[in-house]
Amino acid sequence: MIGIVVSGHINFATGMQSAVKAIAGEQEQMVFIDFVESMSTEQLEAQLRAAAKDVDSGEGVLFLTDIPGGSPCNRALAILMDTPNIELIGGANLPMIANAAFEREDANLPDLVAMLLEIGTSCMQDMRKEVEALMQPEPVAECEDGL
C-alpha cells in the first residue's frame, strides 16, 4: 500500500485527519503533520522525513500539502529530490486526501497522483453557475410528426 503524508500550515493536517477519519475510517500508513508557528522548517523537514520512512512499505510515499510553494511543500520537495519513489502534490484538498485513502491500495504511485489531480480539479465548482444551470427550464422537444 502507498504511504501518505499530509502536511500544511497550522491545523491543516490535523483538520484533514479528522475529516478523513470521519469519511474513510482510521488509516494505516497515513500520517498528518501540522507546520505550527513554534517549528522551524528544519524541524518540519525532519518530521516529514521520519514520517515518510514510517509509512513506506516499499510501494512509495505520496506527500499531500496545502499550498504549492509553502514551507510544507518546499520541505517535501527537498525529500522528493533526494529520495526514490516519492511523489508530491501541492494544493491538496479534502476530496483528494479522502480519495487517496480509498484508492492507494489498488494503484501505483504515478496512477494515484494522476487520479488525485483529476479529482481535485473536478471537485472545484462555481456553485452559483451550477444552481443557475439547474434552474433553467428544460427545452421542449418538438415531435417530428407534429403531435
Number of domains in the chain: 1
DSSP 10: T
- Start-to-end CA distance of the chain, whole Å, equals 60
DSSP 106: S
Task: Read off the pTM.
Answer: 0.89
Q: What is the structure's pLDDT at 138? A: 79
| CATH classification at residue 7 | 3.40.50.510
Is residue 46 in some structural domain? yes
Q: In a 3-state reduction of DSSP, which class is residue 87? A: strand
Domain that holds residue 113: 3-135
Q: Report phi then psi at 146, rounded to 5.
A: 85, 0
At 91-136, the pLDDT tens digits run 999 999 999 999 999 999 999 999 999 999 999 999 999 999 999 9
Is residue 20 in some structural domain? yes
At 8-34, the pLDDT tens digits run 999 999 999 999 999 999 999 999 999
At 22-81, the pLDDT tens digits run 999 999 999 999 999 999 999 999 999 999 999 999 999 999 999 999 999 999 999 999
